[in-house]
């Protein structure tokens, strides 16, 4: 797919971690590392840097969700402290990675969509 057809749809590209131009190539080479180039269309992804945005999204979104869930569980079931100590760190880790991955893909897609131009290193 070339630039004449336009960028891939934003939501599916971000949720699935796909290339912002073609929507088919994987965006990540690891859990959170953005590839240097798309395997399908060859889009250079090195200039797209999401910075601290995904981490901030994780802090705000996951923090609010976990506090609400912990309060609901505590009020409804009144588990022992050790249950909270075992459950919530795992929930926080999984949700944080999921939110950061989607947020990072979304920020890269938005940078591509708005044609971010940065000087080459």
**Hey, where are the domains in the chain?**
3-113
Number of H helices, E strands in the chain: 3, 0
Kindly state the tokens that stand for 103: 């947020």
Q: What is the CA radius of gyration of the chain?
A: 18
For 42: left if phi > 0, alpha if psi spans -120 to 50, otherwise beta; the answer is left
The pLDDT profile of the chain, 121 residues, written as one tens digit per residue, is 445 556 888 899 999 999 999 999 999 999 999 999 999 999 898 888 888 989 998 899 999 999 999 999 999 999 999 999 999 999 999 999 999 999 999 999 998 888 765 555 5
E-strand ranges in the chain read none
pTM of the prediction? 0.81
């Amino acid at each position: 797919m070339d630039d004449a057809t336009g960028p891939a749809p934003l939501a599916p590209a971000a949720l699935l971690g796909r290339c912002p131009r073609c929507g088919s190539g994987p965006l990540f080479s690891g859990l959170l590392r953005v590839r240097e180039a798309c395997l399908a269309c060859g889009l250079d992804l090195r200039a797209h840097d999401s910075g601290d945005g995904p981490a901030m999204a994780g802090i705000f979104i996951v923090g609010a969700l976990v506090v609400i869930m912990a309060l609901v569980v505590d009020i409804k079931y009144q588990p022992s402290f050790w249950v909270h100590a075992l459950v919530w760190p795992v929930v926080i880790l999984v949700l944080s990675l999921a939110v950061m991955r989607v947020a990072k893909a979304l920020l890269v897609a938005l940078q591509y969509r708005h044609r971010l131009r940065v000087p080459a290193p």
